[in-house]
Amino acid sequence: MIDSQLRTSGVNAEFVLRRMSAVAREDFVPAAAKGVAYMDRAIALGDGRWLAAPVVQGMMLQEAVPTLDDKALVVDGGSGYLAALVAPLAGSLDVVTPDEALKASRKKDYTLILIDGAVEQLPETLTKRLASDGRVVCGLVRNGLTRLAIGRMAGDDVALRALAEVGMPVLPEFAKARGWSF
């Protein structure tokens, strides 16, 4: 995984390679998928949830650059793998489900939010949790394409910037409402 997927895709940050070498992916998939835990595509976890391909989570971690100064929040896509990668790198870590992320929260001081999946829109319930100049790393769906995206809190909003196309599972909780059109 390290040499054939991460390094060849530009994921070369030493801290990322160390963490991904230390956390066994097979511990985060159903028993029937343990033999394919390191393949270069998403793995179905059941109930519509997925574990993203290793390169996706490696790219996320590399862009996030978590530090011990960070108060981090991971919106878990269903596996717990991304949270396990981030835990020793951030000063503190909270983990929520996508449904919990949609609920209002009084916390407004996260310096880093990682969403383990792709979103069509970033919910206000998450942006309100970001500290001034806090950052977000997630997948972003635009025109049917999913891209890795990063953003920073500026004023009262987060502007996401797409970086690279990735095959990241979409979180249905963060889909735009569908309306009628011609």
Using the predicted structure, report yes or no on whether residue 70 has a pLDDT greater than 70: yes
Residue recorded with tokens 């985060």: 28
% of the chain exceeding 90 in pLDDT: 78
Find the DSSP H helices in 6-106. 14-22, 54-64, 81-86, 98-101
Closest CA relative to residue 72, chosen from 14, 116, 124, 123: 116
Q: What is the mean pLDDT of residues 135-153?
A: 94
Q: Enumerate residues 6+ apart whose C-beta is below 8 A from 36.
A: 29, 43
Using the predicted structure, report yes or no on whether residue 137 has a pLDDT greater than 90: yes
The confidence band for 159, taking pLDDT boundaries of 50, 70 and 90, is confident
- Which tokens go with 43? 């793995």
pTM of the model: 0.93
Higher pLDDT, 89 or 180: 89
The torsion defined by the Cα of 85, 86, 89 and 93, in degrees rounded to 10, comes to -140
User: What letters, b where the CB count within 10 A reaches 16 and e where it falls short, cover 72-102?
Assistant: bbbbbbbbbbbbbbbbebbeebbbbebeebe
Residue 175 pLDDT = 82
The confidence band for 29, taking pLDDT boundaries of 50, 70 and 90, is very high
Domains and CATH numbers, the chain: 2-171 (3.40.50.150)
Using the predicted structure, report yes or no on whether residue 182 has a pLDDT greater than 70: no
Whether the CB-CB separation of 137 and 149 falls below 8 Å is answered with yes
The alpha carbon of residue 9 and the mean position of all alpha carbons in its chain are separated, in whole angstroms, by 17
Query: Across the chain, what does the average pLDDT equal?
Result: 93
Q: What is the mean pLDDT of residues 40-45?
A: 93
- Which tokens go with 177? 């409402």
The confidence band for 181, taking pLDDT boundaries of 50, 70 and 90, is low
Q: Give the three-class secondary structure for 68.
A: coil
Q: What is the mean pLDDT of residues 92-100?
A: 97
Distances (CA, A) of 76 to 5, 8, 114, 169: 23, 26, 8, 12
Q: What is the mean pLDDT of residues 16-30?
A: 96
